[in-house]
Amino acid sequence: MDVSRRRFLATAGLVTAAAAVPGRLLAELEKRTPPLPDLSRWSDVKAMFSLAPGLLHFSSFFIVSHPRPVREAIDAYRAVIDANPLIELESRMFQSEDKSIFNEIYRAAAPYMGCRADEIALTPNTTTGLALVYHGLPLAGGDEILVTAHDHYVHHEAARTAAARAGATTRRIALYDDPAKVSVAEVAARVERAISPATRIFGATWVHSSTGVRLPVRAIADELQRVNAGRDPARQVVFVLDGVHGFGCTDESAAQLGADFFSAGTHKWMLAPRGTGVLWGRADRWPLLRPTIPSFASLSAYLAWQDGKPPGPTTAADVAPGGFLAYEHQWAMTAAFRLHEKLGRARVAARIRQLNDQLKRGLAAMKHVRLHTPMDPALSAGIACFEVEGMKPEAVVAKLLEKKIVASTSPYKVTYARLAPSLVNDEREVDAALRAVRELSAT
């Protein structure tokens, strides 16, 4: 154990008790969390969710229903924390950086995200990760944050408030006019045209919850790389991506997409506990950020504070927001990454694509329906957005609920009805949803 940390624990009188805990905690957890079952059949995967029967749930991307292994991990962690809150937290989080439970989570997430464990900060959700990036990046009067017209409210607001604080400005650009006809070339050309000498941050969203469009992130990153090649290193454009609706439903590594920072809640497609998320940053970009919220995951920040010294260059751990949390949820993130690893990222993506293809083909064939999401699987993911002739999206969702289909509307100025087939659904349920939409023509 680090000397300063030992001193810290010793003042709390915990060294002896804490040293004995990790082995016991692990044994306790293993007893309470059975190994993952055979998940080769999708029906067995679907059965892991305890969603209300009698409804067909097509809005799981909104907020997760915990699958069984995640519920079990939460319950197990909750039981050990309830039995011994102080000792369990001290031993798991503060005993040593190497053995900290944060590392266990980073190590579970890193292979899935295609990055090093020390490039990830744990956050409670997408929103917090975006705010930490926008408010942490250096901005000055005259600088501009360029975002897209397709980003979520929380993204625009994180950018706007950060810009306002720095005397900078924000601007929005549309990357397409008709989502159903979006193309890689059009998106790249619009980004190229929109970047100005004042642009310091470009913010975008991987999969749009407004239209279901999945952006060609690599093409955008290539464009930005060309821009940055001609710029002073101190004035490079930083690429910030809201990745939440591509994370856990596509077969791409978040850290390999081409963005500089990637924020995603893990409480949607990743099936991790509610109130959890990740913020990834390129190793050489983390030092750009000023931490906003004091971290509990950074021993060096704690030691610098203790010694009254300035902290070193910012690391991912420095940016992870501290303050005590519902740790049974955060710690159980590992169970979700292990579940995805067992299921296979490519296999999950193929399944979600198959169900979405079935849904979109069916919707596109209906004369009274206008599908706004592209058919091309490279430009879409797990969300299908559509309109029914003569009906407001809210009315479509209400009528579908009468037919036991849980759909949603997109929370944007221009709003559509959304159905999002996922691992909680199967082909029969997609057919039932299509039947229900078909019947809307007669109402």
Ligand X SMILES: Cc1ncc(COP(=O)(O)O)c(C=O)c1O
CB of 317 to ligand X, least distance (A): 21
User: Contact region for ligand X (CB under 6 A) — 120-128, 225-233, 301-309, 390-398?
Assistant: 120-128
Nearer to ligand X, 60 or 127 (CB): 127
Nearer to ligand X, 142 or 411 (CB): 411
CB of 62 to ligand X, least distance (A): 6
Given a contact cutoff of 8 angstroms between Cβ atoms, the answer to whether 86 and 14 are in contact is yes
Nearer to ligand X, 5 or 418 (CB): 418
Binding status of residue 274 toward ligand X by CB under 6 A? no
Binding status of residue 242 toward ligand X by CB under 6 A? yes
User: Contact region for ligand X (CB under 6 A) — 75-83, 239-247, 316-324, 373-381?
Assistant: 239-247
Binding status of residue 244 toward ligand X by CB under 6 A? yes
Nearer to ligand X, 143 or 242 (CB): 242
Nearer to ligand X, 150 or 360 (CB): 150
Among the listed residues 152, 156, 345, 418, the single contact to ligand X using CB under 6 A: 152
Which contacts of 30-39 are long-range, i.e. CB under 8 A and separated by 24 or more positions? 32/72, 32/75, 32/76, 32/79, 33/69, 33/72, 33/73, 33/76, 33/335, 34/72, 36/69, 36/338, 36/339, 36/342, 39/342, 39/343
Residues 6+ apart with CB under 8 A from 156: 147, 170, 172
CA distance 132 to 242: 12
CA distance 95 to 5: 7
Binding status of residue 356 toward ligand X by CB under 6 A? no
CB of 242 to ligand X, least distance (A): 5
User: Contact region for ligand X (CB under 6 A) — 123-131, 220-228, 252-260, 295-303?
Assistant: 123-131
User: Contact region for ligand X (CB under 6 A) — 121-129, 180-188, 296-304, 363-371?
Assistant: 121-129
CB of 134 to ligand X, least distance (A): 13
- The token duo for 423 is 């691992």
Binding status of residue 383 toward ligand X by CB under 6 A? no
Strands 261-265, 238-242: parallel, antiparallel or unpaired by DSSP? parallel
CB of 128 to ligand X, least distance (A): 7
CA distance 443 to 441: 6
Cα 130 off chain centre by: 10
Among the listed residues 154, 175, 217, 371, the single contact to ligand X using CB under 6 A: 154
Element (H, E) at 155: helix 153-166
Binding status of residue 277 toward ligand X by CB under 6 A? yes
Enumerate residues 393-432 that contact ligand X by CB under 6 A: none
Nearer to ligand X, 87 or 132 (CB): 132
Q: How far apart are the first and last CA of the chain?
A: 69
| Residue closest to 265 by CA, chosen among 123, 421, 68, 438 | 123
Binding status of residue 330 toward ligand X by CB under 6 A? no
Among the listed residues 245, 340, 345, 418, the single contact to ligand X using CB under 6 A: 245
Exposure of 27 in the CB half-sphere (CA atoms within 13 A): 5
| Residue closest to 73 by CA, chosen among 316, 292, 335, 291 | 335
Among the listed residues 33, 95, 209, 380, the single contact to ligand X using CB under 6 A: 209
Q: Is 382 exposed, middle or buried (0-12, 13-18, 19+ CB in 10 A)?
A: buried
Count of residues binding ligand X (CB under 6 A)?
12
- β-bridge mates for residue 204, sequence order: 241
Nearer to ligand X, 84 or 292 (CB): 292
Sheet arrangement for strand 369-371: 369-371, 384-388, 417-419, 408-409
Among the listed residues 125, 250, 295, 315, the single contact to ligand X using CB under 6 A: 125
User: Contact region for ligand X (CB under 6 A) — 74-82, 88-96, 122-130, 324-332?
Assistant: 122-130
Among the listed residues 205, 250, 315, 330, the single contact to ligand X using CB under 6 A: 205
3-state secondary structure of 387: strand
Binding status of residue 64 toward ligand X by CB under 6 A? no
Residue 258: other Cβ atoms inside 10 A: 19
Binding status of residue 273 toward ligand X by CB under 6 A? no
Given a contact cutoff of 8 angstroms between Cβ atoms, the answer to whether 206 and 214 are in contact is yes
Chain residues in the site for ligand X (CB under 6 A): 125-127, 152, 154, 205, 209, 242, 244-245, 265, 277
